Structure 1
Amino acid sequence: MQARVLTFNTLFRGEARARAGVLAETIERSDYDVVCLQEVISWRVLGLLRRVATSYPHVAYTPMFPLVRGGLVTLSRHPVTRRHFRAYVPARPARPEWLLSKGALFTRIRLPGGHLTVVNTHLSANLDMDWSPSNVYAQVEKAELHRLAAAVNQIPKAEPLVAMGDFNVPRDSPYLAEFVSSTGLRDVFGGDTEPTFRPEYAEIGAIDQLLVRPGIEAKTRLVFKEKVRLPGGRSAVLSDHYGIEADLTAGGAGEA
């Protein structure tokens, strides 16, 4: 089984539709098999993505009027055989992102060489940017990682699986290490803390992750670092995050 994948937080604020149009054109020209997007909150943005990126006929998301649930959208050039959304339990302190009903979107995709389960997620933000054990937002994220681990562990171990998205937890966090240990997943970056959030916005670090099950090899790189030209001629970055792309290769598991 081989697959080329991308995960990218699209940033819902500020010219979101203009940037989404450029993104859609970019992935339409790409050779990605699967694209996991976060912060696709607006139905208008989702509609734009679907109209422009027509080579991705299989689109997984969860309706939740008036928003796209969790802001999570998974685009695939290959048939989707199963999908479900696992919500995180809202935990105090109260904050606007509760309206999104954040969680994880599980999608099973039938690739030419076998099936792959793709987990697209966006954890709660740490508004203090403080991941010490006593921080209330860190405790929220830790609980969400526990819930995500339980959901991942329900997928048969023989099934090739990749979990990716905006975890909002630094790659060197003990919470992420605990998640990796409890699921048996592997960080394809090997702990490298090169930032995935643009340093000019905030010094947060490597908060976007791509994790795979044993038996999957991955070659990765950060993308969308450069500015793009928006309609009207203005140049801008695609998001406050970089994207992560990966070439995945696995053995014969997951072909049932």
Structure 2
Amino acid sequence: MKVQDFRSNQKADDIEQQMPKPAQKEQRSNKENSPERSQQNISANNLDKQNNTLNSSTFEIGDRQPIQKIQVVKSNQSPKSNVINNYLSQGVRSVRVLTYNIFLRPPPIKNNKDDYKNERTKLFLNSISDFDIICLQELFGFLNQRKHKIIFNAMKQGYFYHATSPSPSFFSSYLVDGGLVTISRHPIIEKTYRPFKYGVLSDNLSQKGVLYTKIQANDSYIHLFNTHLQASYVGAENNVKATVITRVDQLILIKDFIKEQVEKHREKETDVIMICGDFNVNARPSTYPIHYLNDVPDIQEYMKRINPKEFSEYDILRYILSDFETLEFIDTLRRKFKGESPITYADTYIDKATQQELPMEEALTIKEDLLQKSCLDYIIQLRIPIKNKEEQENSGSQNEEDDIEEFKMQKSKVQSQSGFVFDYDQVFLEKFFVKGQPFTQLSDHYGVYTTLRYVNGNQKNSFQFKESVVSSQDKKNLENKNQQSFNNASLNE
């Protein structure tokens, strides 16, 4: 056997080890659905047909277990159907959100010999049934029909709602659209696109920006922002500096856009606000000299306060998107993996024969980025804090007792409202590994997905209780579990 063939088989074995076994997948299933499902009056024939549909994919899926969608056969009221009616009366109990840089650039562009765009598109369409909302980046519509194909075929699978970044006008200096697409099983009742003011190097050909959708599920709303920031380029220092400053300017625009849309469309305090996408900001970390930001006046006060010799671009991202620390910023990946950021781009593995660190993916990834081991893709939650006592004092109130009482009333009002909350334990990488193809995964990036759980504020809810009251032993167990999940997320660690 040739050495090359041996290494290829060894890499396939290493990838196989990264695919979760049935016992590992169990924790990713919708546990809240299983007790009720055993009592539901569902036709056996329909269930068999459903399972055959879910298992019809011809490729391996990297990091998840399919959700068993519930199919209800309407019939006359009977004691047996009461369980179903009680279940359905609660509406949607969970929403799974995926963000994925799908790496489908216009036809003339490719990193290596072939990007296998059509093959990967077909495989991707067979893999989306597990999710409820999907945010895609780099799905460009220029000179091809792949964007329309994905939207059309997604509709056949129940994604009846979508929003896209528009094509640039004929008189625009841009050649291609921003490559953003959001598809949803739940109604999109508002959508707006805000293009960035500029891009640099090859990004100045694409009208990149941020895509806002207001999505309704039950009586609640999800304010979802999908974006793809300025790409990084290795090489001359001036080019690197230009991309950093461009991303900072784009983050400031996103921050203002989020504030504008939330103030305009927010319904109640429990509305979910989240931004996801490919930020091209490495959180593992990537540091730059402080003089890179001398031309960005908006963050000078922050840089003076921390007074560093070099800066982490991730800290700048967190500072800006939190509206200069007035919002609560929650990086769901870091929350899940105990402050660490797993690799989402240019992953590696250790060859067992040579103990050499090698690229996990080579067919699609540009050669200059191999072995980078970056975290570029995020799902970020933003929370507007309840007015605290200090803010109320600044608003002109002089009565301390009234301030405290007002704060308690506001807090009680929020807690009594129904809505979706993040299940931080259900945040995973979706690696989309494949077999039997000239490529080993469906993109040069990994996807990230999370689960939102519906909480009824008028009733005691086990998930809400679990999130707010955790014993010291539970915390210790959760830390161990999260650390183990992080170790499994990256082959090199």
Q: Which has the higher contact order (CA 8 A, sep 6+)?
A: 1
- Give the root-mean-square deviation of aligned CA atoms: 2.7
Q: Answer yes or no: is 1:168 the counterpart of 2:375.
A: no
Q: Answer yes or no: is 1:18 the counterpart of 2:119.
A: yes
User: Does the C-alpha gap of structure 1 residues 129 and 102 become closer, same or farther in structure 2, counting only changes over 3 Å?
Assistant: farther
Q: Answer yes or no: is 1:102 the counterpart of 2:208.
A: yes
The aligned amino acid for 2:136 is L
Which segment is superposed worse, 13-22 or 138-147? 13-22
Matched residues in 1 for 2:443 and 2:218: separation? Answer: 32
Aligned equivalent of 2:340, options 156, 171, 192: 192
1:142-181 alignment, distance < 5 Å: 142-154=248-260, 155-156=262-263, 158=269, 159-171=271-283, 172=285, 173-181=314-322
Q: Answer yes or no: is 1:51 the counterpart of 2:152.
A: yes
Post-superposition Cα deviations, 1:72-126, rounded to whole Å, max 9, x if no partner, equal: 00010111100000111114xx422222210000001111241111111000111
The aligned amino acid for 1:72 is L
The aligned amino acid for 2:276 is M
Provide the secondary structure at the position in 2 that maps to 1:198: coil
- Residue 170 of structure 1 and its aligned partner are, at CA, apart by 1.6
Provide the secondary structure at the position in 1 that maps to 2:151: helix
User: Does the C-alpha gap of structure 1 residues 244 and 110 become closer, same or farther in structure 2, counting only changes over 3 Å?
Assistant: same
- Residue 128 of structure 1 and its aligned partner are, at CA, apart by 2.7
Post-superposition Cα deviations, 1:159-218, rounded to whole Å, max 9, x if no partner, equal: 311110000002352222213432433111224221110323430511101101338323
Q: Answer yes or no: is 1:216 the counterpart of 2:421.
A: yes
Matched residues in 2 for 1:185 and 1:106: separation? Answer: 18
Question: In terms of Rg, which structure is larger?
Answer: 2
Aligned residue pair count: 245
Q: Answer yes or no: is 1:39 the counterpart of 2:138.
A: yes
Contact 1:131-1:138 within 8 A present in 2 as well:
no
Provide the secondary structure at the position in 2 that maps to 1:52: helix
Aligned to 2:434: 227
Q: Answer yes or no: is 1:72 the counterpart of 2:180.
A: yes
User: Does the C-alpha gap of structure 1 residues 229 and 121 become closer, same or farther in structure 2, counting only changes over 3 Å?
Assistant: farther
Which stretches in structure 2 are left out of the alignment for 5+ residues? 1-92, 105-109, 286-313, 348-358, 360-364, 384-419, 458-493
Post-superposition Cα deviations, 1:133-177, rounded to whole Å, max 9, x if no partner, equal: x82211111111111111112213633111100000023522222
Provide the secondary structure at the position in 1 that maps to 2:119: helix
Which stretches in structure 1 are left out of the alignment for 5+ residues? none
User: Does the C-alpha gap of structure 1 residues 147 and 184 become closer, same or farther in structure 2, counting only changes over 3 Å?
Assistant: farther
Aligned to 1:62: 165
Post-superposition Cα deviations, 1:33-75, rounded to whole Å, max 9, x if no partner, equal: 1000000002511122123222211111133159763100001
Provide the secondary structure at the position in 2 that maps to 1:47: helix
| Fraction of identical pairs, as percent | 24
Aligned equivalent of 1:81, options 189, 192, 195: 189
TM-score normalised by the chain length of structure 1: 0.85
Matched residues in 2 for 1:84 and 1:11: separation? Answer: 23
Contact 1:86-1:104 within 8 A present in 2 as well:
yes
TM-score normalised by the chain length of structure 2: 0.46
Matched residues in 1 for 2:191 and 2:176: separation? Answer: 15
Higher strand share: 1
- Residue 4 of structure 1 and its aligned partner are, at CA, apart by 0.6
Contact 1:88-1:147 within 8 A present in 2 as well:
yes
Contact 1:180-1:187 within 8 A present in 2 as well:
no
Provide the secondary structure at the position in 1 that maps to 2:280: coil
User: Does the C-alpha gap of structure 1 residues 145 and 95 become closer, same or farther in structure 2, counting only changes over 3 Å?
Assistant: same
The aligned amino acid for 1:195 is I
- Residue 248 of structure 1 and its aligned partner are, at CA, apart by 1.7
Contact 2:251-2:321 within 8 A present in 1 as well:
no
Which segment is superposed worse, 4-13 or 50-59? 50-59
